[in-house]
Chains A and B, each alone.
Chain A
Amino acid sequence: MRSRWRKFKESDFLYHFFRDPVAYVSFGILLVLLISAFAAPLVAPHNPYDPTTIDIMDAETPPAWTDTGTRKFLLGTDDMGRDLFSTMLYGMRISIIIGLGAVFLQAFLGIVIGLLSGYIKRLDNILMRIADVQLSFSTYMIAIFIGAVFQTAFGVANYEKIAAPLLIIIIGIAEWPQYARTVRASVLAERKKEYVEAARVIGLPRLRIMWRHILPNTLSPVLVLSTVQVANAIMSEAALSFLGLGMPLLKPSLGSLITAGFEYIFSGSWWITILPGILLVLLILVINLLGDWVRDYLNPKLYKG
């Protein structure tokens, strides 16, 4: 009986992983990004949240490699005088937290509803119709609506305090139907299988069958979906921030950085918008590439010669 760790080390998964450059390079980059984002307080040369370290006179300094740049600000500063590099790191952290948080919420809601919908026929119709209605509202529309209502009701300052959790909730609730449908499809397929009939023949109660037998067998597509959804959630948050409905300027995410710097592109301070933009693209790209790889790996019909 080999231990789980040994089994993993010898497994097909690692073997194929190390043979595909796209996989391990993407993973490597993602790891670097994740570590630098979450270790931002240790890694970043400046603290963009501390107003005492920010000098408005430093605003719009170009990156270090240009003529007028300085070593102090590696990638230049933004319009408020914050070190762009540090702000980007902190911003990436927020983007990732919102992305992951939203996906957890989506997945949780989606799995529960998908399970109930697939296994209990009477709930199926109503739950799926609710999902359809939900899907017909675009995420952005809901976000704009909730964001606008909140800001007018409670004021912008209060909004900014709870912006991050609010975004997680909005994006989380907007996208659960994806999960629900995927899980429901799996449940419908698994329900007919004989091991489920065997569980019923033993006399096991419904909830136990759903939890112990069906759920573990529906997780494969959920995993694949999640990788895509994390990227999507980060994108959604960036778009919302770009529209002014996301993270506030004082605690920016990558998206709000891009917004803030957008007006300066024509006046020559291109780095304020472009550099966070590149980082965002890179982050989403590697997540997508890894997600694609996982999906292909889990696809039993594709042979990985």
Chain B
Amino acid sequence: MAAEREEKPPMKTDVLVGIRNLVKHFDISGGWIEQLKLDAGRIRRKKTVVKAVNDISIDIHEGETVSVVGESGCGKSTLARTVMGLYPPQSGEIYYRDQRIDQLSESQLKPFRARMQMVFQDPYASLNPRMIVGDTLREPIRFHNPGISGDELDGKVAAVMEQVGIDPDWQNRYPHEFSGGQRQRISIARALAVDPEFIVADEPIAALDVSIQAQILNLMMDLQAQHGLTYLFISHDLSVVEHISDRVAVMYLGTLCEMASARTLFTSPRHPYTQALLSAIPRLGKAFSHKKLSGDVPTPIRLPDGCVFNTRCTYARERCRRQIPSLIALSNGTRVACHGVEDNWVDA
């Protein structure tokens, strides 16, 4: 797949983070007592599993920004956390520079932790309310650099605070003394403090006001240019995604529907869900003309048979209800999972 910015064809070594056939399910059955259910006159044990991520494969190249979009319940946050090692996957592999990291123990994973960091959505919950901001920043640096001297540590903390636009003199304050936008900056500083190469940002600006969103986005783009960072950007805000991404992946109920370069996705979306999603974005000054989706969003506990989107798709046919579509590559590099696109009965 041709990456948007690079001229040379991609080589295997260009892939910084490789996600292969990732599956993550959550078993919420509870204890054995809660599992017992009366079913057709007999007591059975019923397992309830949330199938959050189903067979996702994405290659993220060094220096690029890949965004994952989808609505609530699509599994994008779970995907982000599984990639970061917060959840162990059911199956599939995660590679960091061709080294498999999903099965490593915590101590083996430690060196990778310094290279992969995360920024979270809620500026109010992502900083420990009982730790001064300076300590929050010192902790990761000290953990990954055990021998570091006090002066050097202070220097690093001051440097990273300045980079994100927070006065280093304020490091003895508590998080509640800062505004939402400032807290998000501090979160970014914490991620940056260990000199990572790869940052996963889970809805980093969703909780901020419009004018602050612009500031934080600009900051993130500046930092990317300065440090050569690679971003995995999770968002539901499509206009932001359009602006900052190289490539975009669209998820629905744990499945990858479409993945394309940003420009291609927004000008000619192929998957019916992508089309509906894009048409629903309110555009300034343009009248509503969104494609109505029928039915309710199914739950990730009981996925529909066949294509996950078939219950709401206006193009759905018999084959969609029986057979899960596989991800096919189109001539322009887009990958789509849709029978209709494959067989040409979905309008482009």
Instruction: Please list the residues of chain A having a beta carbon within 8 angstroms of any beta carbon in chain B.
Output: 1, 125, 193-195, 197-205, 212-213, 216-217
**Contact present for A204 and B139 (CB under 8 Å):** yes
Residues of B within 8 A of A125 (CB): 31
Q: What separation, in Å, do the CA atoms of A194 and B113 have in the docked complex?
A: 17
**Contact present for A203 and B125 (CB under 8 Å):** no
Q: What separation, in Å, do the CA atoms of A125 and B86 have in the docked complex?
A: 23
Closest to A206 in B: B106
**Contact present for A203 and B128 (CB under 8 Å):** no
Q: What separation, in Å, do the CA atoms of A212 and B130 have in the docked complex?
A: 9
**Contact present for B113 and A201 (CB under 8 Å):** yes
- Of the candidates B122, B131, B143, B144, which one forms a contact with A194 in the assembled complex, judged by CB atoms under 8 Å apart? B122
Residues of B within 8 A of A195 (CB): 125-129
Residues of B within 8 A of A194 (CB): 120-122, 125-126
- Of the candidates A198, A201, A216, which one forms a contact with B130 in the assembled complex, judged by CB atoms under 8 Å apart? A216
- Known A1-B172, A197-B118, A197-B120; judge A202-B140 contact (CB<8 A): yes
Residues of B within 8 A of A199 (CB): 128, 139
Q: What separation, in Å, do the CA atoms of A49 and B114 have in the docked complex?
A: 66
B139 to chain A, nearest CB (A): 7
Residues of A within 8 A of B86 (CB): 197, 200-201
Chain B interface size band reads 20 to 34
**Contact present for A217 and B128 (CB under 8 Å):** yes
Residues of A within 8 A of B19 (CB): none
Interface membership of B335, Cβ < 8 A: no
A212 to chain B, nearest CB (A): 8
Closest to B202 in A: A194
**Contact present for A203 and B31 (CB under 8 Å):** no
Interface membership of B109, Cβ < 8 A: yes
Q: What separation, in Å, do the CA atoms of A123 and B122 have in the docked complex?
A: 30
B171 to chain A, nearest CB (A): 10
Residues of B within 8 A of A200 (CB): 86
- Known A197-B81, A197-B86; judge A202-B194 contact (CB<8 A): yes
**Contact present for B130 and A217 (CB under 8 Å):** yes
Contact mask for chain B residues 188-227; partner A; CB cutoff 8 A; 1 contact, 0 none: 0010001000000000000000000000000000000000
**Contact present for A203 and B118 (CB under 8 Å):** no
A175 to chain B, nearest CB (A): 26
Closest to B110 in A: A203
**Contact present for A202 and B143 (CB under 8 Å):** yes
Q: What separation, in Å, do the CA atoms of A217 and B121 have in the docked complex?
A: 20
Q: What separation, in Å, do the CA atoms of A1 and B131 have in the docked complex?
A: 16
A202 to chain B, nearest CB (A): 4
A93 to chain B, nearest CB (A): 35
Q: What separation, in Å, do the CA atoms of A201 and B130 have in the docked complex?
A: 19
B205 to chain A, nearest CB (A): 15
Residues of A within 8 A of B122 (CB): 194
Interface membership of B117, Cβ < 8 A: yes
**Contact present for B117 and A201 (CB under 8 Å):** yes
**Contact present for B194 and A217 (CB under 8 Å):** no
Q: What separation, in Å, do the CA atoms of A212 and B140 have in the docked complex?
A: 13
**Given A195-B127, A201-B84, A216-B130: 16 more A-B contacts, CB < 8 Å:** A1-B172, A195-B125, A195-B126, A197-B118, A197-B120, A198-B120, A198-B187, A199-B139, A200-B86, A202-B139, A202-B143, A203-B110, A203-B114, A213-B128, A213-B131, A217-B128
- Of the candidates B81, B106, B116, B125, which one forms a contact with A193 in the assembled complex, judged by CB atoms under 8 Å apart? B125
Residues of A within 8 A of B116 (CB): 201
Q: What separation, in Å, do the CA atoms of A279 and B128 have in the docked complex?
A: 43
B293 to chain A, nearest CB (A): 31
A189 to chain B, nearest CB (A): 11
Q: What separation, in Å, do the CA atoms of A216 and B130 have in the docked complex?
A: 7
Q: What separation, in Å, do the CA atoms of A289 and B114 have in the docked complex?
A: 50
Chain B stretch 122-177: residues in CB contact (< 8 A) with chain A: 122, 125-131, 139-140, 143-144, 172
B261 to chain A, nearest CB (A): 29
**Contact present for B143 and A203 (CB under 8 Å):** yes
Q: What separation, in Å, do the CA atoms of A195 and B122 have in the docked complex?
A: 9
Residues of A within 8 A of B120 (CB): 194, 197-198
Residues of A within 8 A of B130 (CB): 216-217
Query: 20 A-B pairs, CB-CB below 8 angstroms?
Result: A125-B31, A194-B121, A194-B122, A195-B127, A195-B128, A198-B126, A198-B190, A199-B139, A201-B116, A201-B118, A202-B117, A202-B194, A203-B106, A203-B109, A203-B110, A203-B144, A204-B143, A212-B131, A216-B128, A216-B130
